[in-house]
Structure 1
């Protein structure tokens, strides 16, 4: 459960009346000289039909970003509706993430031939008290999840711009969380997705011993990354086990991807990946972590 109020500090103020349009969110994440991203993550590629990409909100350093998990879902239902239902009704696998959405009584989605996804949801989905910055992230969480689910199942042309229109009880102009006006076609917003995030292994998964593959993405192509594997004992104490560095791909076809392999024996581990500050190589930015077990 979320606290009654989620407050995000350090953000640029929105309009005086506190209401922005979903299609033009405020500049909430300024790009510092350290190389923070200025673009959204590329659309997802094809995945297994029973794997739904779901975005969650998580804290990193002094800011808040979107992170993705793949969740098991039935194959026979609408994949966009399924992914959004998971986002609104379930908890993330990673305890560092959360969602401000509530499970709605009604939720339906459709896709037009113009790469526009329409989401129609009942107003009980918005029963959380958020500040303006968190409200904008919540709407982008929905946009990222809907577009990811459609792209990963081949329902949209991922080579073209994809937009999401959100209706509430069939109507436009609803003000979500008292801060964001819905109804206009909305795209993924630059800078909302996490600058560094681990794709595999996912939180809580088990992998075979031996060579363990760790992969992820940075939204800064060519970014210098630091990684560390910690061993977790029975009392949940963590000790450094392996460390190293990696560079995110600068290849346009592999936009920001990174991968590494480490040899691990049976036990519990946590992997940490961070971006190095361009002006201070000892300073770690945008740390992401995943806990997993080696059998």
Structure 2
């Protein structure tokens, strides 16, 4: 009889989760329509060592109370996958919990979204060969998508399921994880009219964003002092670069707290793979006083142009300043 740690019972969930998002006191824009003051991420997030390997194995370093969820964002004019760690409503199974949030929750970053449609009906199981069977209602695939977006939507499920399984320690070391997608309990369905789901699917590495900032997450709160900017980035001809700007006071994130012009605080070249970090990861410490900040990381292409830009807005304040 297989261990319950390795085999999760396939279950259908009949009720949508009630997702409670902690907001700051206002939702006025902090710079442009793409980044709002919906500063809602948890104050304590995953450790800087969380990686993004092609099969998701490095993601088992994350804090067990956080669910990895992959959203869709736009970079250099193309849609790509970005990961956030979230305090998702617990559905009793880490894979189902992460998928429920993907399907029914909201990203912290206002620039992210999902190509999937809401549905409460999600089940998951894992076999001894690291094949994760995910059973989702056809309601999730009711949007009209072209072939490229259809593939990206399905890969949201693949990335999220494999990340959640790795994060919970449910994967063995023998084989790379794959996802078998069932639609209404059947494996012979055509998803979005473009993709068949009759074979287990691995991650497609080329669909990940070239750069993303792991910490600070959008909307998170940090204490004054040293803040670590951590993330993942590919190799660019001119290297990776970073910049932190102060864009407002440490107030509530309303428009009244904003500066007329951002003030550059620190920046430089990102040293990827420094010390014991994997070759695609970075960790940049920066000392910050109280305030509202924007951190940017980008690559320099062969022509000296900016590519792969990722940005996050976050707040640095003491507990007294936040009113907690």
User: Is 2:67 the partner of 1:52?
Assistant: yes
Distance 1:125 1:155, change over 3 A: same
3-state SS, counterpart of residue 249 of structure 1: coil
Unaligned runs of 5+ residues in structure 2 are 1-52, 249-256, 318-324
Q: CA deviation at 1:184?
A: 0.9
User: Is 2:303 the partner of 1:280?
Assistant: yes
Q: Distance in 2 between the 1:78 and 1:139 partners?
A: 20
Which residue pairs with 2:285 in the alignment? 261
Matches within 5 A, 1:9-158: 40=54, 42-43=56-57, 44-74=59-89, 77-157=92-172
Q: CA deviation at 1:151?
A: 0.3
Contact 1:198 1:290 in 2 (8 A): yes
Contact 1:40 1:191 in 2 (8 A): no
List structure 1 runs of 4+ shifted beyond 3 angstroms.
Answer: 39-42, 219-223, 235-238, 250-253
Contact 2:236 2:299 in 1 (8 A): no
Q: CA deviation at 1:89?
A: 0.7
Q: Distance in 2 between the 1:68 and 1:223 partners?
A: 25
Contact 1:50 1:75 in 2 (8 A): no
Q: CA deviation at 1:96?
A: 0.9
Contact 1:49 1:75 in 2 (8 A): no
Q: CA deviation at 1:224?
A: 1.6
User: Is 2:203 the partner of 1:181?
Assistant: no
Q: CA deviation at 1:48?
A: 2.6
Contact 2:224 2:290 in 1 (8 A): yes
**Among 161, 183, 188, the residue aligned to 1:168:** 183
Which residue pairs with 2:271 in the alignment? 247
Give me the CA root mean square deviation.
2.2
Distance 1:59 1:159, change over 3 A: farther
Q: Distance in 2 between the 1:54 and 1:290 partners?
A: 17
Q: Distance in 2 between the 1:59 and 1:280 partners?
A: 21
TM-score (norm 1): 0.81
Distance 1:175 1:237, change over 3 A: farther
Q: Distance in 2 between the 1:284 and 1:269 partners?
A: 21
User: Is 2:209 the partner of 1:194?
Assistant: yes
User: Is 2:247 the partner of 1:232?
Assistant: yes
Contact 2:55 2:162 in 1 (8 A): no
Q: Distance in 2 between the 1:291 and 1:150 partners?
A: 29
Q: CA deviation at 1:62?
A: 1.6
Distance 1:73 1:153, change over 3 A: same
Give the length in aligned residue pairs: 255
Which residue pairs with 2:313 in the alignment? 291
- 1:94-147 Cα distance to aligned partner (Å, 9 max, x none): 011100212224210000011100001111111222121111111111100000
